[in-house]
Structure formats: C-alpha cells, structure tokens
C-alpha cells in the first residue's frame, strides 16, 4: 500500500500517461493495418471513400483502445467503464479525422494506392486516445485519492 503524498502518487500517473501515448500510437498503427487488411480481404467492393473511412476509423479505434489500456480501472460499475471506453474511442476517432482534415494527405496516385495517407492520422489517433484517456484517468485519480 502506498503512503499518501509520497513520490509514487505523482510518478504512477505520469508513467501511465506516457504509457498511454505509446500504446495509443502502437495500437493506432495496428488498427490501420487491420483496417487495410480488412478492406483487402473484402476485395474493395465499395467506393474509395468507404474504404478510406474504414481505414481512418480503424486507426482511431486502435488509438483509443491503446490509450484506454494504460488507464484501465475495473472498480467502477460496468456502465461507467463502458462510457469511459466509448469516450476514449470516440476521442481517438475524432482526433484521427482531425489529423486527416488538417494533416498532409498524400496524392491518390502515391504508390498506386488510393488510401495512402501521411502519419497525421496516426499522430491524431495517439493524441486523441491519449488525451481523453489521461483526462479520465487523472480525474479518477483525484476521485479515488482518499481510498
């Protein structure tokens, strides 16, 4: 058991925040691979825009999942955990779309693939998943500090 107000009460949340960023980035990249593989497995039956959105959403969901894993807390009720997971996932997807809108997007003919984009998507997913998960995690740290 940790003693209140010692160095670990500050180091553990800081380490979790750093881990959230790296996990969100890794899972965002992994989500992009899964989205691309899913579209290739289907044989690209829909328009380019649909497959582009599959790719973007899968990156965002991966970034959100990675960010949440560093701050996972199993003590609240299931519906609060579900709301936290949903918020972090939506934060990852929203930040990925922001990275798509404001980042540099490669030409559709780049390497012959229409879904090729720059790393702004992955940075957006990492920052969105990390940001929302860290905000919820720090709020939870303050809420449960006296326990």
pTM reported for the whole predicted model = 0.82
Q: Flag whether 25 is in a domain.
A: yes
Q: What is the pLDDT of residue 24?
A: 92
Total number of domains constituting the chain = 1
Q: Flag whether 76 is in a domain.
A: yes
Q: Flag whether 2 is in a domain.
A: no
Q: What is the pLDDT of residue 48?
A: 83
Q: Flag whether 3 is in a domain.
A: no
- Count how many residues are written for the chain: 147
Domain span holding position 57:
8-143
Q: What is the pLDDT of residue 86?
A: 94
Q: Flag whether 133 is in a domain.
A: yes
Q: How does pLDDT run along the chain (147 residues), one tens digit per residue?
A: 445 667 777 788 889 899 999 999 999 999 989 998 998 899 888 888 888 889 899 999 999 999 999 888 888 889 999 999 999 999 999 999 988 888 766 655 544 455 555 677 888 888 999 999 999 988 888 877 655
CB atoms within 10 A of CB 94: 16
Q: What is the pLDDT of residue 111?
A: 44
Q: What is the pLDDT of residue 1?
A: 47
């Amino acid at each position: 058991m940790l003693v209140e107000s010692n160095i670990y009460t500050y180091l553990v949340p800081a380490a979790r925040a750093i881990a959230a960023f790296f996990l969100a980035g890794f899972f965002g990249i992994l989500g992009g691979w899964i989205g691309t593989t899913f579209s290739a497995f289907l044989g690209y039956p829909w328009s380019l825009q649909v497959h582009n959105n599959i790719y973007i959403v899968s990156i965002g969901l991966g970034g959100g999942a990675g960010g949440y894993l560093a701050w996972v807390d199993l003590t609240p009720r299931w519906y609060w955990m579900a709301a936290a997971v949903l918020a972090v996932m939506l934060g990852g997807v929203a930040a990925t779309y922001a990275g798509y809108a404001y980042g540099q997007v490669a030409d559709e003919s780049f390497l012959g693939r229409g879904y090729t984009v720059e790393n702004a998507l992955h940075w957006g997913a990492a920052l969105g998943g990390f940001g929302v998960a860290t905000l919820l995690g720090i709020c939870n740290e303050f809420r449960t500090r006296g326990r």
